[in-house]
Amino acid sequence: MNEILIKKIRAKFPRVDSDAMGRKRIFFDAGAGTQVLESSVKAMADVSLNYAANIGPNYPESAKCDEIIIEGRGAIADFLNAEAPETIVSAESATNLLGRLGYTIGKYTTKKNNVVSTYMEHLGNASPWFEMERRGYVKEAKWVGLNDDTTLNMDDLKSKVDKNTKVVSCAYTANLFGTKNPLKEIGKIAHDVGAYFVVDAVHHAPHGPIDVKELDCDFLIFSMYKVFTPKYICFMYGKMEHIENLFPYSVERNVTVLPDKWELGSIDPAKFAATIATMDYFVWLSEQIKDQYKGKYDNYTGRARSLKIALAAIKEYEKSLSTAMLKGFDDVPGLPDIPGVDFYGIKDLNRLDERDPTFAFKIADRDEKEVENLLVKKYGIDLRYVFDSWNMAHNFWNIPTMGRASLVHYNTVDEVHRFLKAVEEVAKK
Ligand SMILES: Cc1ncc(COP(=O)(O)O)c(C=O)c1O
């Protein structure tokens, strides 16, 4: 992805350069929700205005709503390489889906008495397992620790998973410091003892291709507002056998309808239209770079292949952002090496495949509110600094707050440069 393409991409995100008040800014808060595509918002507005009917009856407006929802599930099935659109469940938030999944699994496999999750989780993927423990569905929720380089302690994981484990659940990527997990290895450990393997892909979803078949996960959850789309639509993939056989709380007439038995109440076709428009954006992006991917991703066809190519290109481009952030420039060191900065995460440039461009840091001995004010107000860098990321790592390290710079592919190396200069100046004071 070259500079011209990045300019074209940025033009599709009206608020990426300046906010609605006209204030110039650098937006490094993607982990809390990315900037949104104009096309996605327009598609949502169009359906909200022109197709305000509910699904079910046979009049054209309502039939169109049905069509949009089916098409939206198909688009997400392609995005994840899921076996069928019926394996794609929607809700308004990942927290909602994870919570309900916890209850659903909790009622099952009752002879098994523990769940295993990690100190890398957002609380959205920790609370369901604490809750299983509180409600007595399991005797124990166990938490896997981190190594010094912020990777998961796999020995600890292996020692905690046993034949009584119901669920092994972990993040694809830590939302605070960007470290990825070795999912295939973790999935195998889970399946060897007959446990469900659940992946929280909320933080990772905008950063690279996801293939649920390759991961062999039982469930994978993500939120569209972290993927350039308006809020209040998220998706869960579940293996067909689980979507069919498990018993979530269901509304009476939907008890056997797939995947509707997993959804509660009316769902919003406008949010599915927004989702389709975002997937169309990725298809557009793949068209711009497809020559570089000749002979690659040939095991996918049609839209599924285009989506894999777009996300693969995004992943490659984001490595240039991570390199800039970690290595720095002639006139400023990388974030880990700025004097006065404490850095948390993988910093080895040879290990960029193990991280997404999300960087946790702290300026030592400085008033946090003052630092945040300087970064936001003086330098126009919109990020979180006095920040409790709701991540279990805060408990593990006993550090209640950290700064986080969370980037995606509409960001630029020049923005990273300006950010590093600002952090260096602030850290000097
Ligand atoms: C890794 C991770 N999991 C879960 C969530 C919760 O997602 P939602 O806001 O859709 O409930 C977040 C939100 O930041 C997250 O980063």
One fold for both 3-38+312-428 and 43-276? no
Q: Which atom of ligand 1 is nearest to the CA of 121?
A: 1
C-beta of 94 in contact with ligand 1 (< 6 A)? yes
- Ligand 1 centroid–CA 232 distance in Å is 12
> What is residue 297's predicted lDDT score, i.e. its pLDDT?
96
> Ligand 1 centre from 62 Cα, in Å?
32
pLDDT in tens, 344-388: 999 999 999 999 999 999 999 899 999 999 999 999 999 999 989
Ligand 1 and 124: CB distance under 6 A: yes
Q: Which of 198, 280, 203, 197 is closest to 234 using CA atoms?
A: 203
Q: Give the pLDDT confidence score for residue 110 in this predicted structure.
A: 75
| Separation between Cα atoms, residue 427 and residue 421, nearest integer Å | 10
Omega of the bond leading into 259 within 30 degrees of 0 (cis): yes
Q: What percent of the chain has pLDDT over 70?
A: 100
Q: How far apart are CA 265 and CA 263, in angstroms?
A: 7
pLDDT digits (tens, 9 = 90+) for 239-286: 999 999 999 999 998 899 999 999 999 999 999 999 999 999 999 999
Query: Which of left, alpha, beta for 130 (phi over 0: left; psi -120 to 50: alpha)?
Result: alpha
Ligand 1 centroid – CA 229 distance (Å) = 14
User: What CA–CA distance (Å, rounded) separates 416 from 429?
Assistant: 20
What tokens were used for 426? 């602030």
Q: For residue 57, what pLDDT is reported?
A: 86
Q: Are 413 and 327 in contact (CB under 8 A)?
A: no
**According to CATH, what is the number of the domain 43-276?**
3.40.640.10
- In the three-class reduction of DSSP (H, G, I as helix; E, B as strand; rest coil), residue 143 is classed as strand
CATH: 1.10.443.10, 3.90.25.10, 3.40.190.10, 3.90.1150.10. Which one for 3-38+312-428?
Answer: 3.90.1150.10
Domain ranges of the chain: 3-38+312-428, 43-276
Asked if residue 175 has its Cβ within 6 Å of ligand 1, the reply is yes
DSSP type of residue 377: I
Indicate the pTM of the whole model. Answer: 0.98
CB within 8 Å of 407: residues ≥ 6 apart = 28, 30, 318, 321, 325, 357, 358, 359, 415, 416
Mean pLDDT of 310-321: 98
| Coil, strand or helix at 104 | helix
What CA–CA distance (Å, rounded) separates 21 from 1? 30
Pairing relationship of beta strands 140-144 and 165-171 according to DSSP bridges: unpaired
Q: What angle do CA 51, 53, 59 make, to 5 degrees?
A: 95
- Closest Cα to atom 5 of ligand 1: 124
- Whether the pLDDT of residue 109 is over 90: the answer is no
Cβ(204) – ligand 1 distance below 6 Å: no
